Amino acid sequence: MKYVDEFRDGQLAKGIATAIARAARPERSYRLMEFCGGHTHAISRYGIADLLPANVEMIHGPGCPVCVLPIGRVDQAIRLALEHGVILCTYADMLRVPASDNLSLLKAKAQGGDIRMVYSTSDALNIARKHPDRQVVFLAIGFETTTPPTAVAIQVARAEGLRNFSVLCNHVLTPSAMHAILAVEGGVKLDGFVGPAHVSTVIGSDPYAVFARDYAKPVVIAGFEPLDVMQAILMLIRQINDGRSEIENEFTRAVTPEGNRKAQALVAEIFALRDSFEWRGLGSVPNSALCLAEAYAEFDAERRFACDYVAVPDNRACECAAILRGEKRPQECKIFGTVCTPENPIGSCMVSSEGACAAHYTYGRFRESA
């Protein structure tokens, strides 16, 4: 696969690994957070930790939209399917997330809920067209990469007068989450960020400037492939050594400073900023999520259906909050790997394959067992 295979080359990886080992000063440690769940997955799946010196530690951040979605939001989707009889369309990632009453979307489907997995919002629109007599709700999740497709769907629904289509909107924003992590009093000590790949193709590299400025933390935007991640780590180490805190772009083949203006404009038209939104693990974060703009209220499932959000606290033994903020590692959670496993996930970090706990359990738990 072009533009994929070349960026996974083992020989080149060795070269970058050697450069990292040379650059990392032995007298200090480097704590770097990779924000994006896709990067967490890549790091675990390729065993990148084995290629880094011991004093370079990767902290897994909350950039996994499945992981940060509160239980109460999944409950809303389930209620729409089971109590309101809608056709609930969702990306596959959400199907196994545990919600209240021992349910998940998959279990609700087994109970008779009409819950359908879609790969794209276009599929959800097709379902709405095919079933004009049924209400079709699309469960919208994701950071800025996934928001434009939802915007397009709403625009198309309006143009076609698809009155039976609506969206349960849970889109969240990356820079706000990064603020929330950095602003935590006495929070996790971080030396730099590996910035998300595809979110940045949409929002551009400009929005990260504020982190370098206000928090004096370097950010290197990294592509999706393992070599990209390693190169970004090298660039971060060099910045830290030099005492610089700049925004650098490693993913120049796809990220520009201004990003995708067309997508941004569409999102700005269709969506509005929520005053605040509850994030699993981070609590209430201001200006961090989107809802449908007033002009598109007719497509807002939260307004169309009597289905209010009810906050549900996490299991008390669950350390997801601390793990999502990078304060604890999965292994430090008392129920990790015993009660809480990918088969029986208690918290959000274990549910998505990109969650820190799931990634560590699935790909890396042999490291502790040696």
Partner 1 sequence: MCLAIPACIVEIQNGDQAIVEIGGVRKECSLVLLENAQIGEYVIMHAGFALSRLDPEEAAETLALFARMGQEAA
Partner 2 sequence: MSQVKSGYARPLDLKNGRVDLAHGSGGRAMAQLIAELFAAAFANDYLGQGNDGALLPAASGKLVMATDAHVVSPLFFPGGDIGCLSVHGTINDLAVMGARPLWLAASFILEEGFPLADLQRIVASMAEAARAAGVPIVTGDTKVVEQGKGDGVFITTTGIGVQREGIEVGGDRARPGDVILLSGSLGDHGMAIMSKRENLDFSAPIVSDTAALHGMIDSLLDAVPTVRVMRDPTRGGLATTLNEIAGQSGVGMMLDEAAIPVKPAVEAACELLGLDPLYVANEGKLIVICAPTDAERALAALRAHPLGKESCIVGEVIDDAHRFVQMRTALGGRRMVDWLTGEQLPRIC
Interface with partner 1 (CB under 8 A): 1-4, 6-7, 9, 11-12, 14-16, 18-19, 21-22, 36-38, 63-65, 91, 119-123, 142-143, 145-146, 148-149, 152, 196-199, 201-202, 223-224, 227-228, 231, 234, 250, 252-255, 260, 262-263, 266, 354
Q: Which of 34, 75, 93, 250 binds partner 2 (CB under 8 A)?
A: 93
Stretch that binds partner 2, among 59-67, 77-85, 256-264, 307-315 (CB under 8 A): 59-67
Instruction: Please state, in angstroms and as integers, the Cα–Cα distance from residue 131 to each residue in 81, 136, 191, 268, following that order.
Output: 15, 8, 52, 30
- The CB density around residue 236, as the number of other CB atoms within 10 Å, is 28
Q: Return the number of the residue (95 or 312) whose C-beta is nearest partner 2.
A: 95
58 binds, among partner 1, partner 2, none (CB under 5 to 8 A by kind): none
CB of 32 vs partner 1, minimal distance in Å: 17
Q: Return the number of the residue (103 or 151) whose C-beta is nearest partner 1.
A: 151
Q: Are 350 and 359 in contact (CB under 8 A)?
A: no
Q: Which of 58, 64, 80, 233 binds partner 2 (CB under 8 A)?
A: 64
Residue of 148, 123, 243, 250 lying closest to 196 (CA atoms)? 250
Stretch that binds partner 2, among 199-207, 245-253, 300-308, 361-369 (CB under 8 A): 361-369
Name the token pair of 186: 């006495």
50 binds, among partner 1, partner 2, none (CB under 5 to 8 A by kind): partner 2
Beta 192-195 vs 219-221: how paired, if at all? Answer: parallel
Contact between 353 and partner 2 by CB under 8 A: the answer reads: yes
CA angle at residue 228 from 194 to 54, to 5 degrees? 65
Contact between 234 and partner 2 by CB under 8 A: the answer reads: no
CB of 93 vs partner 2, minimal distance in Å: 5
Which amino acid, one-letter code, is at 288? Answer: S
Q: What is the dihedral of CA 268, 274, 278, 281, to 10 degrees?
A: 40
348 binds, among partner 2, partner 1, none (CB under 5 to 8 A by kind): none
Q: If you count DSSP H runs as helices and E runs as strands, how many of each does the chain have, helices first?
A: 17, 13
Task: Write down how long the chain is.
Answer: 370
Using left for φ > 0, alpha for ψ between -120 and 50, and beta otherwise, residue 172 falls in beta
Contact between 1 and partner 2 by CB under 8 A: the answer reads: yes
* Sheet of strand 247-249, all strands in order from the earlier edge strand to the far edge: 56-63, 30-36, 192-195, 219-221, 247-249
Binding mask 135-174 for partner 2 (x = CB under 8 A): ------xx---x----------------------------
CA 98 – CA 351 distance, rounded (Å): 8
Instruction: Output b/e per residue, 143-179; b: 16+ Cβ within 10 A.
Output: bbbbbbbbbbbbeebbeeebebbbbbbbbbbbbbbbb
CB of 363 vs partner 1, minimal distance in Å: 16
Which amino acid, one-letter code, is at 169? Answer: C
Q: Return the number of the residue (120 or 241) whose C-beta is nearest partner 1.
A: 120
Q: Which of 24, 30, 33, 44 binds partner 2 (CB under 8 A)?
A: 44
Residue owning tokens 């209620």: 79
Q: Return the number of the residue (75 or 228) whose C-beta is nearest partner 1.
A: 228
CB of 212 vs partner 1, minimal distance in Å: 22
Q: Are 88 and 80 in contact (CB under 8 A)?
A: yes
Total site size for partner 2, rule CB under 8 A: 47
Binding mask 266-285 for partner 2 (x = CB under 8 A): --------------------
Q: Return the number of the residue (68 or 82) whose C-beta is nearest partner 2.
A: 68
Which amino acid, one-letter code, is at 282? Answer: L
Which distant-in-sequence residues (6+ apart) come within 8 Å of 307 by Cβ?
Answer: 76, 79, 80, 83, 84, 301
CA 201 – CA 215 distance, rounded (Å): 23
Binding residues (CB under 8 A) for partner 2: these are 1, 4, 8, 10, 13-14, 17, 37-38, 44-51, 64-66, 91-93, 95-96, 116-119, 123, 141-142, 146, 226, 341-343, 352-354, 361-366, 369
